[in-house]
Structure 1
Amino acid sequence: MEENQEEHKPRIKPIIEGAETLSLGISMVVAVLIGVAIGLGLKKLTGITWLLWVGVAIGLAAAFLNVYKAYSKQYKEFEKLAKDPRYNMGKSIDEDDDED
């Protein structure tokens, strides 16, 4: 039974990682759409047409923020792997790579 459980772990992990990547794309689209909706709402409430573009800018800023957060998370994971002796091939992360 233990072998069965070990077989399922590798199968589930790629699915979860794929769902996280998919959710990033969806969150970007949703952030822009919410920004456009805010802009349209402000335009309708006030009658000022440039407020639509303010909403679009808010949505784009939120989308870029989502990408930055995902990048930061992945970079932290990379640094953990770089410090792991199994993956750094005997090099320290602080060593210079200026080998001429």
Structure 2
Amino acid sequence: MKNEEPKFKKLVNAADGLSLGISMVVAVLIGVGIGIGLQKLTGAWWTLWIGVFIGIGAAISNVYKAYAKQKKSLDELANDPRYTYKKEQQEKYDAEDEDDKY
């Protein structure tokens, strides 16, 4: 049996990309909610900013995790034996371009 890709792979990949944007907004909103809760609990106005910074930090963390996941996927693809010939040809072509510059 041939190794087939999942039927809805494109849809899942699109949803994964969309979820990054949604998760950033949700992380900041949750942080703001935490800040408002801290403000009401303590009565200090500056505690709202603690929640905002927590939300922004969570959003940055989400972006970094998505980047790391994508980089890992691309590194696996670069090491795939199906692409080694093209990679070697590209390196040879780049070396020839370097020789032409001087």
Q: Which residue of 1 aligns with 2:75?
A: 79
Q: What aligned pairs does 1:1-100 form with structure 2 within 5 A after superposition?
A: 9=5, 12-88=8-84, 89-91=86-88, 99=95, 100=98
Shift in alpha-carbon separation, 1:42–1:19, aligned structure 2, 3 A = same
Consecutive unaligned residues of structure 2, counting only runs of 5 or more, are: none
Deviations 1:34-56 (CA, angstroms, capped at 9, x unpaired): 00000000001101111101100
Consecutive unaligned residues of structure 1, counting only runs of 5 or more, are: none
Deviations 1:8-50 (CA, angstroms, capped at 9, x unpaired): x475111000011111111111100000000000001101111
Larger radius of gyration, structure 1 or 2?
Answer: 2
Shift of 1:79: 0.3
Higher share of residues assigned helix: 2
Aligned pair count reads 89
Identity between Structure 1 and Structure 2 (%): 60
RMSD after superposition: 1.9
Instruction: With the length of structure 2 as denominator, give the TM-score of the two structures.
Output: 0.78
